[in-house]
Amino acid sequence: MVAHVAAGNTASRRALEKNGFILHEVLPIEGLAGGLCVYLRILAADYAWILDYLKAKKGVTWDFKVEWQWERYKIGEKLFAALCKNKAGQPIVSLKCEPEVSLLLQGEYPGIQPGYYCDKKHWISIRLDGSVPDTVIKQRLDTAYTLVLHKLPKKRQEQILG
């Protein structure tokens, strides 16, 4: 779920934060002092670190697909991660993954399943409910980023990595 509120509207911002929304980004809007605050309520607070971790990676862009309620992370216009909720309403992160590793991870962790609304061979979805350790999630985030980065043309990779 996404909420937008003017940066100066502290009462509304406090109410959102009290109800589990996390400040995601402040967008500069001409004529609106302080800009527009974008709040998200997809993840449990324990997993808010994922948003910052993904956005800190070189060359990463993100958008929010309102129709799907998906927050999508891309490198070189190629999707490598998506944050959303599954049919049961559980927060998940879907990540690009090697097919053979996907099967191993699914066998080891019940919270890792074939990609939700993604190619089930090349994507996994990790339930963000504590069933998968944060260290494994972080490793999979890094791997998804690297897999997609290395599929880009060499020149584009050099531009991204500086």
Q: What's the pLDDT tens digit per position in 94-139?
A: 999 999 999 999 999 999 999 988 888 999 999 999 999 999 999 9
**Rounded-to-integer distance, Cα 153 and Cα 87, Å:** 36
Q: What's the pLDDT tens digit per position in 42-72?
A: 555 567 789 889 989 999 998 877 677 788 8
Can you name the residues that pair with 32 across neighbouring β-strands?
Answer: 29
**Rounded-to-integer distance, Cα 38 and Cα 89, Å:** 21
The closest of 150, 88, 96, 87 to 120, measured between CA atoms, is: 96
Domains and CATH numbers, the chain: 1-41 (no CATH), 44-161 (3.90.1150.30)
pLDDT > 90 fraction of the chain, expressed in percent and rounded: 49
Whether 35 shows a pLDDT value over 70: the answer reads no
Which spans in the chain are helix H?
10-18, 49-55, 99-108, 134-151, 154-161
pLDDT score at 36: 61
pLDDT score at 120: 87
Whether 156 shows a pLDDT value over 90: the answer reads yes
Mean of pLDDT over the chain = 83
